[in-house]
Structure 1
């Protein structure tokens, strides 16, 4: 199985924007989790995590996005990072058979800083990184 990125969707509520992606990944959840929830994993496809305390309420600092807190943490399933500027990144993994999983991603932010195309490129890098 190869990975794929389903069409991203975008919603706007006032000044708040929500991007949603469903990404099919060619690895089981346990192999994907480190790419979403460790500094080394995030740096490989997204951005450097200068700080990441892997627990609910832990501090997180993502280069280019700033600092914040871990606002959801369910090991091997959910990592959510809420930034001080009000932005939020949520990574939710679901099992897809024995050898694959699905990432349901949400990015909530204010303003116009983040594009669907930029996330699509990042997820292509993630799929490449995880390829068997």
Structure 2
């Protein structure tokens, strides 16, 4: 059973959204931090980090290995082992805030502030949800096999998020 629950989205004006996930992962935050902030870690669940200057103001270029999307930007917050925030051309502001729970569990509070119509918001909710499932697998020693990726899971998640908005 996945530890990833459905996200929330909040409209912040015309074609502007705030997407939120809260994940509880059974691993120490010191083990989780590299998955969010290093080239090898990001490749295992999210994207190839073609450029990643790990400091406030540093350059970032992420290339999604499942879709080919390339996003460039900057590190806009950096508090080692606690907060990593990237503001990217294609995805807006993405922020990972880690909080240790004991010694072997971590809460990630994730926020994506971005523009786009509701259809794009739904696409992103499904995309982030699937990527967080991939993060969960990567932390269990099973990084993503991008050559085997299909959009089947994403499509099911997309429909589930769309059904929430219709309810």
Aligned to 1:90: 95
Q: What secondary structure does 1:10 align onto?
A: strand
Aligned to 1:110: 115
Cα distance in 2 for partners of 1:37, 1:76 equals: 9
1:3 touches 1:25 (CA, 8 Å); kept in 2?
no
Q: What secondary structure does 1:98 align onto?
A: coil
The 5 Å alignment of 1:7-22 reads 7-13=6-12, 14-22=14-22
1:3 touches 1:24 (CA, 8 Å); kept in 2?
no
C-alpha RMSD of matched pairs (Å) = 1.8
Aligned to 2:33: 33
Q: Describe the shift of the 1:22–1:101 C-alpha distance in structure 2 as closer, same or farther (beyond 3 A).
A: same
Cα distance in 2 for partners of 1:106, 1:53 equals: 21
Unaligned 5+ segments in structure 1 are none
Aligned to 1:44: 44
1:25 touches 1:100 (CA, 8 Å); kept in 2?
yes
Aligned to 1:81: 86
Unaligned 5+ segments in structure 2 are 64-68, 142-167
- RCO (CA 8 Å, sep 6+): is it higher in 1 or 2? 1
Deviation at 1:6, TM superposition (A): 3.0
Q: Describe the shift of the 1:80–1:98 C-alpha distance in structure 2 as closer, same or farther (beyond 3 A).
A: same
Deviation at 1:108, TM superposition (A): 1.2
Q: What secondary structure does 1:115 align onto?
A: helix
Aligned to 1:4: 3
- TM-score, reference length from structure 1: 0.91
Provide runs of 4+ in structure 1 moved above 6 Å.
none
